[in-house]
Structure 1
Amino acid sequence: DVTGWGENDRGVSFTFGPEVVAKFLHKHDLDLICRAHQVVEDGYEFFAKRQLVTLFSAPNYCGEFDNAGSMMTVDETLMCSFQILKPAEKKKFPYGGVGTNRPVTPPRNTPAAQPKKGKK
């Protein structure tokens, strides 16, 4: 559990604890922070006594994760609800998987793809 601010494992951003969330919400007179851009297994995940929610809308992210995706709807009474995008079943791809041992697609406009010159 994180308290206050700290560096993340990769050294490119920061982690923060629930008291940082509470202080930010109080200072800006807000009730909820909704953030994204981090894979969460169930498509959404609450933090800091449900004062922050992380959404991730891409199920099976990059074909590497078994995560669900989600969308959040906020109604006129500010009630939040979530629509879950279930992860697809793993499919077997030819050539052993996506991006592995696949034949290369030839680039466009190569000499072989040019129309023959001459008679029209």
Structure 2
Amino acid sequence: MDGFERFAHGQLITLFSATNYCGTANNAGAILVVGRGLVIVPKLIHPLPPPVNSPESSPERAMDATWMQELNIQRPPTPTRGRPHSAGDRNSLAYI
């Protein structure tokens, strides 16, 4: 992952704020810099490699990561939410 993704012809930008997500993704993070004239420039934050003698690089850590990935595969997907109701409905998310 590049730290950010653009959607809808650049009208929507999704940022990944955590580098090396959960120690398994090895992804970059990003921040948005808003300059003069509202020019938006994404700046990448690359993950640091683990030190050679760190617990993250040990075989036991690799087994832990494999166990966690297996657990995530077996987990049921998060159910989708319905669309918010009209703004006049006090029970809708749009009311908040």
TM-score normalised by length of structure 1: 0.43
Q: What SS class does the counterpart of residue 31 from structure 2 fall into?
A: strand
Aligned to 2:90: none
| Alignment match, 1:46 | 6
Alignment coverage as a number of residue pairs: 60
Larger Rg: 1
CA offsets per residue over residues 83-107 of structure 1, 9 Å max, x none? 111122255524611794xxxxxxx
Deviation at 1:56, TM superposition (A): 1.1
Give structure 2 stretches of 5+ with no counterpart: 65-96
- Structure with a larger share of its residues in helix: 2
Q: Is 1:84 matched with 2:48?
A: no
Whole-Å separation in 2 of the counterparts to 1:82 and 1:51: 14
AA at the equivalent of 1:85: I
55, 79, 82: which is aligned to 2:15?
A: 55
Partner of 1:18: none
Q: Deviations over 1:22-71 (max 9, x none)?
A: xxxxxxxxxxxxxxxxxxx1111101111110011111011010110000
Superposition CA RMSD, Å: 2.3
Q: Secondary structure at 1:77's aligned position in 2?
A: helix
- For 2:25 and 2:59, the matched residues in 1 are separated by 20
Aligned amino acid, residue 25 of structure 2: F
Matched, 1:64 2:24: yes
**Paired letter, 1:46:** R
Gaps (5+ residues) in structure 1? 1-40, 101-120
TM-score by length of 2: 0.53
Aligned partners of 1:43 and 1:49: how far apart in 2? 18
Which amino acid in structure 2 is aligned with residue 62 of structure 1?
A: C
- Of residues 81, 97, 109, the one that matches 2:61 is 97
